[in-house]
Amino acid sequence: MRIVVILPTIVFSIMTAAAFYFNDILLVLLALPLLFIQYFVTKSHEIVDQESLNAYIKHAYGISCEGIISFTEDLELYLYFPSKMKDNTAMVSRDKCVIKINGTVKSMEVYEGIEEAVTKLCKPRINKISSLN
């Protein structure tokens, strides 16, 4: 986990404990902005189209997976007919992700599926390209 996620929680917990120990509610009120900062820093991007999907992957993982991970509105078609997907690709909708790796099809939650698709489909491709140079 990144320090941005953990540090505000730890500081808020310490200030809340100190507020109860010293019987001073003002310390809790001073610590509340830390939770808002944590929320705004860690809130996930909503994926609504191909551009927002590419922006999320670029922001979260720092790589580009264009052509491997695609956005579609009609994901049920690929769940019922997985033969319509190419091997080693992922299809993402607003609420699901379908990954096809070597003929095996998996259906997952959006962000969990994107993470698995990036680690299993995009990262090996990047390692192969960098080893050629």
49 has a pLDDT exceeding 90: yes
For the segment 38-58, the average pLDDT, to the nearest whole number, is 85
Among 21-25, 39-43, 44-48, 126-130, the range scoring the smallest mean pLDDT is 126-130
pLDDT of residue 106: 94
For the segment 82-98, the average pLDDT, to the nearest whole number, is 94
List, in order, residues 6 or more apart from 116 with CB less than 8 Å away: 99, 106, 108
Whole-number mean pLDDT of the chain?
A: 85
Boundaries of every domain in the chain: 3-42, 50-132
pTM of the model: 0.65
Secondary structure (3-state) at 89: strand
* 130 vs 99, residue with greater confidence: 99
Per-residue CA distances from 109 to 25, 49, 51, 74, 106 (Å): 40, 16, 19, 15, 10
